[in-house]
Each structure stands twice: as structure tokens, then as C-alpha cells.
Amino acid sequence: MPGSVVPAEKIPSIAALWRDAKLLPTSLASAVPKSASANQRAALFRGDITTLQVDAIVNAANSSLLGGGGVDGAIHRAAGRELLQECRGLGGCPTGQARITKGYDLPARHVIHAVGPIYDSDSDESEWLLRGCYRSSLELAAVNGLKSLAFSGISTGLYGYPSMEAAVVACRTVREYLDENEGPLEKVVFVTFEEKDVDAYNVMIP
């Protein structure tokens, strides 16, 4: 298992990051309306998602659910062969939806596999499908009674979704869900790794 395990309670909420001046206002942040209550439950973490000790991490999967490159491959390697065996039994997943498995050798108890869209700048469908990934993942977490959930950047790698636009969809969808649902979810983490995603979330976090 790469890196040191990071417990959910050690990941600062967005409200705490604002309080400690780790986030600063920008002129673009108005793209996602601010919600004080959601910011108590949402969090931001830069690093390796496979080190997070949360109830579930969200994998940016392909429709086969059988692993791939980037974060998908890293999660499968860290979880071990049993994850692949369980994924084979799921029979794939449509774009814009998600499926849940055990976490196996990961510190996370579960993996939610969300299948993001290949970006098409001429279609609103990409945004609709990406929004579906976040919504489906949040709903799966709630149905399974999970209290902490960490999202990798969905579709921002090989699928070509611009990081800034993807961050707006992610932040807006999560904020709306948290405002609409009390539920069991106490912490929803946006995980960044590449510099382009770090910059996008630093700008777009409400």
C-alpha cells in the first residue's frame, strides 16, 4: 500500500480551509454559489487517493470496470486482485452511472466506480453525464450508510474533460446534494493530484 494512511478526520473541511486562509477568494469562484452548511461537510485533499481511510473512494473507471490507466489502475493495484474479481461479476457500468464494491487491500472500506464521459465540447451531454457520475456516487454512498466519501477527478485525464469545467460540475453537484440531503454523509472529499486539477479546485471551491 503506497504512502501513509490518512484518516478521514485528518482531512480539513472547506470551511476550515477558508478559516485558516488556506483558500483565498477569486473572481471566478462565483461560478459555484457558496454554502456554509455544505462547506462544513465538503473537504479538499491533495495527494494519493489510495491512502485515504474513508468509507469509500470514487474511482474514475471505464465502462468495463476492469481497470485501466491513471487513477483507475492505481486503485486496482492498491486494492489487489480481489477487486478485479468482484468487478468482473458486475458486468460493466453505463457512462454517467456508478457501482460499488469492497475496498479489499485499500484503507477505504469500499470503492465506488463512476464511469465518466469522453468530453465533447459541442454537446451538453458531457456535463449531464459527468453530473450523473457525482450524483450516482453520492446516492450509492447514502444508500449504503457511508459517512465519508472521497472523489478522484472524473474524466479529467484521458477522457479530456477540462479541469476547470469539471471542477465546476463536481463542486456544484456535491454542494446541491449536501444542501438537499442531511443523510449519513458527514464528509465528502475532493481529491486532487495533478497540478491542473489542484489549480481548478483552488479556484472553483465555493
The predicted-structure confidence for 104-153, as pLDDT tens digits, reads as follows 999 999 999 999 999 998 889 999 999 999 999 999 999 999 999 999 99
- Write down the pLDDT at residue 1: 45
- Distance separating alpha carbons of residues 173 and 137, to the nearest angstrom: 11
pTM: 0.93
Q: Which is nearest to 156 in space by CA: 199, 107, 122?
A: 199
Contacts of 52 (CB under 8 A, 6+ apart): 5, 6, 8, 11, 45, 107, 108, 150, 189, 191
Q: Look at strands 110-115 and 6-7 and give their pairing.
A: unpaired
The whole-number pLDDT of residue 198 equals: 85
- Domains of the chain by range and CATH? 11-18+40-205 (3.40.220.10)
Q: What is the pLDDT of residue 88?
A: 98
Can you tell me whether residue 17 is helix, strand or coil? helix
Q: What are 121's three cell numbers?
A: 465540447
Cα 200 to Cα 110: distance, rounded to the nearest angstrom: 27
Q: Is the dihedral of CA 24, 152, 120, 97 positive or negative?
A: negative
* Higher per-residue confidence, 32 vs 126: 126
**Which triple of cell numbers denotes residue 137?**
456516487
Adjacency order of strands within the sheet including 148-151: 42-46, 187-192, 148-151, 56-61, 110-115, 98-102
Distances, alpha carbon 4 to alpha carbons 52, 58, 61, 101, 107, in Å: 9, 19, 24, 23, 10
Q: In the numeric block, which cell numbers belong to residue 168?
A: 465546476
Looking at residue 31, its pLDDT comes to: 63
